[in-house]
Structure 1
Amino acid sequence: MNLQQSYQTGKLLIGDFELESGDILSNVEVTYERSGPASREMVLVCHALTGDQFAIGTDTAPGWWNGLLQPEGYIDTDRYQVMTFNVLGGCNGTTSALSMNPVSGDRYAAAFPEITIRDMVSVQRLALEKLEISHLKAVIGGSLGGMQVMEWGVMYPDFMDVLIPLAATPFVSDYAIAYNHLAKTAITSDPNWNDGYYTADRLPAAGLGLARMVGMLTYRSDHQYNERFRRAASGKDDAAYEVESYLNYQGEKLVARFDANCYMTLLQAMNSHDIGRERGGWQAAAQKIKAIVLTFGFSRDLLFPPEEIKRFAAAVPSARHVDVDTIYGHDGFLLEFEKWGHHIRDVLEQPMKISY
């Protein structure tokens, strides 16, 4: 099958949507990427914090998970239809702080209501209904995407055959919330923040850039930083060392493509993640999952330790856990596919063999 012949992107109108908080979002829209003929089984991909719907991408602009999603790849795009939605609250076309508020006639900005992971999943479920899709082969995602995967399993236990959460725990730890607090404080301390009602010519760029730098310290391990940079001098005016130059670059790159209010929205949604909330605890919630579950933990992951992910797998009725040894820490789910991709291929082909 020719990937380009089956590739499409678009936008779906969901209509009015009631959030967990009780707030109503009007005229919700969801953007997506879809590959593969409708006759094939579908794999739903859920993206991470600053990801987007372009998981596969094109030949000229490969997506962020292109190494996993390929013809004859670990998730074979000749064999499976693949769908990715930009999450509610994201800044790539789905309703968010960048959208028009019908009450004020201006962008929501800081008036965009708080959302949860469950809200994101509910919107995706409605989007699939619009497409007349009533069952999924699998739901897969890492980090914030992995949180969505878990909620999919608890909220809609009969909707899929397989769940594959990577680098995600059943609830966000205080340690991770603490790092998110640093990131949020960096943004709100920017002189241009203006309580979230900043303008295009006065963006809180320094604050958002610093927030990204904080995040980058948690996404990779100390070992990876030390091995990569080795105290090398940068030779640049704004950075004495290469590691400083790298962090500056990462901050600038995010500022160029992401909105600060959206970043704040998604951080708060991440903080609220707890599959056990109002369900009798996370172990009780895990018992509600009917799908086959394959979890992945990545060594040196500061935010989502592999041992905590393994505990989640042990609480699910039918699950297997895979530990991946990597120097990259949390970002391991975006790299080194040759180390762990075959497990995904195997569970998609023979899910009932998950137990051994």
Structure 2
Amino acid sequence: MREESVGHVETEKYTCSEGIELESGKKLEPIEIAYETYGQLNEEKTNAVLICHALSGDAHAAGWHDGEEKPGWWDNMIGPGKAIDTEKYFAICSNILGSCKGTTGPASINPETGEPYGLDFPLVTVSDMVKVQKKLLNHLKIDRLLAVIGGSLGGMQALQWTISYPESVRFCIPIATTARSSPQQIAFNEVRRRAVMSDPKWNQGDYYGSEPPRDGLSLARMIGHITFLSEESMRQKFGRKLRDKEKLGFDFDIDFEVESYLHYQGDKFVERFDANSYLYITRAIDYFDLTNGGERTLSGAFKEAKSKFLVVTITSDWLYPPYQSKQIVRALKANEVEASYTEIRSSYGHDAFLVEPGQLGHMITDFLSRISVRDILVDVPIIGKDTPIEKAAEIMVESEFTHIPVSSKDGDLVGIVTAWDVARAVAEGIDSMNKVMTAEVITAAPDESITSVTGKMEKHNISAVPVIEKSGKILGIITSDLISRLVKRGGLSNSNDQEI
């Protein structure tokens, strides 16, 4: 299928007036949340995919804003025909709590003072960020996500979702991340924060309305950018090439291309990011630890996890090295949670999840194509054999279901009735459910593949199939419309999963 852009998009805002109680115990209210959506939410609200951004990202993940020269930060992954196919999925990306890209953070106005929060803004955690995202989904009336996907800090959010709201996520794809920040990762973050705080213009966080700490934030970004790259990618990109000169200058001006590149990245960053937000978000990354400081094991952290996981790492990532992703998978499998591990083979380092859309796109497409009946079935009203035809019609109108299972007094499936059956019964004066329902029902098992169910629908020329357990208990229903929105026909692709 041809890949296309989602086109022109606009960032939306939602104000959560009741706020949240933070992990620190403090209350933060109100909270403004910036977000963007791509694609259409289906009637059953089962195709929502939450995209979680990294440290300096924002809600603008795909498409184009008026007047901007570049698309959203993950435009190569989100859109028609892309890995997160907006012709099938309803993608949502919101700016995280504590940031400076539209969601409440230290640069926002404190309603109690009328001035920017600055350091009066409370420290927040990844768990708090996820709690705010849940508030947004409640506002959008989405009870359960098909998938949550994110890289780096976004991967931490994805993992936190499966622990904070285990019933709310079907698939989880954490990329280039960890279950707890290591001493080295914390050390890099502290050096970056000290670069900001050592700038006199930081002024204890009270610089709004005056000159911000540009030098400190630029230096912090330069340090951070080194960790995003690999030694090999820097060698390939820069080597020891000189910048606009043929010989060394024998001074402290810029000699090498790599120096110029880092200065450029730092200078560009200060134009789009707030220094205090940088401090708060890196601190949230430090605090991230699914073991709660060793109070529980990592496998214990995932004890209640219900999602299916695809854990993606990058071979050249030394900031979040592959062994940390393997730890996550081992902990999941210790709980008999379905988890796959795969690697992006790249020399780009940590940033490869942003610049290797081919590999990552194939991994995500393949993983989401493994959706089973259990993952997308929807609740459906159930009627009894003695339900009057008029009542069945009323239930269909109220629920908007055109196919309703019929059960025995013990709750076992004994038939199915359609809107056409009910219309015929009314027209012909039939008053018995037994006379209009179909007794020989084609059903699906909860763990059956979507391909198998699609085949049944085509063979028997039907558009809905009740889902039942081996015991005969009715779990829900799956429709052809729902399948067509979520799954491409033509079978599954080959898997890149690895054993660890």
Which range, TM-score by smaller chain?
over 0.9
Change in CA separation of 1:200 and 1:246 when aligned onto 2, cut-off 3 Å: farther
Which residue identity does 2:258 align to in structure 1? V
Q: CA deviation at 1:74?
A: 1.3
* Aligned residue among 26, 29, 39 for 1:26: 29
- The aligned counterpart of 1:11 is 13
Q: TM-score under structure 2 normalisation?
A: 0.68
- The aligned counterpart of 1:297 is 313
- The aligned counterpart of 1:215 is 224
SS at 1:70's partner residue?
Answer: coil
Q: Distance in 2 between matches of 1:127 and 1:20?
A: 18
- The aligned counterpart of 1:151 is 160
- The aligned counterpart of 1:339 is 359
* 1:263-287 C-alpha deviation (Å, 9 max, x unpaired): 0010000000011217623221123
SS at 1:31's partner residue?
Answer: strand
Contact 1:97–1:262 (Cα < 8 Å) also in 2: yes
Contact 1:140–1:146 (Cα < 8 Å) also in 2: yes
Contact 2:20–2:131 (Cα < 8 Å) also in 1: no
Q: TM-score under structure 1 normalisation?
A: 0.95
SS at 2:29's partner residue?
Answer: strand
Q: CA deviation at 1:341?
A: 1.5
Counting only pairs closer than 5 Å after superposition, residues 1-356 of structure 1 correspond to structure 2 as 3-4=6-7, 7-15=9-17, 16-39=19-42, 41-58=47-64, 61-235=70-244, 238-277=253-292, 280-316=296-332, 317-351=337-371
Contact 2:180–2:289 (Cα < 8 Å) also in 1: yes
Q: Distance in 1 between matches of 2:364 and 2:291?
A: 26
Q: Distance in 2 between matches of 1:349 and 1:273?
A: 31
Q: Distance in 2 between matches of 1:149 and 1:142?
A: 9
Gaps of 5+ in 1: none
Contact 1:274–1:282 (Cα < 8 Å) also in 2: no
Which residue identity does 2:188 align to in structure 1? Y
Contact 1:294–1:321 (Cα < 8 Å) also in 2: yes
Q: Distance in 1 between matches of 2:287 and 2:138?
A: 26
Contact 2:5–2:79 (Cα < 8 Å) also in 1: no
Q: Distance in 2 between matches of 1:186 and 1:293?
A: 37
Q: What stretches of structure 1 move > 6 A for 4+ residues in a row?
A: 353-356
Q: Distance in 1 between matches of 2:271 and 2:7?
A: 28
Number of aligned positions between the proteins: 355
Q: Distance in 1 between matches of 2:367 and 2:239?
A: 39
Q: CA deviation at 1:318?
A: 1.0
Q: CA deviation at 1:8?
A: 4.5
Asked which structure has the greater RCO (Cα within 8 Å, sep 6+), the reply is: 1
Question: Larger deviation: 13-22 or 169-178?
Answer: 13-22
Q: In terms of Rg, which structure is larger?
A: 2
Contact 1:43–1:81 (Cα < 8 Å) also in 2: yes
Question: Larger deviation: 335-344 or 270-279?
Answer: 270-279
Q: CA deviation at 1:292?
A: 0.3
Q: Distance in 1 between matches of 2:209 and 2:109?
A: 15
* 1:281-308 C-alpha deviation (Å, 9 max, x unpaired): 3221123211000011111212211112
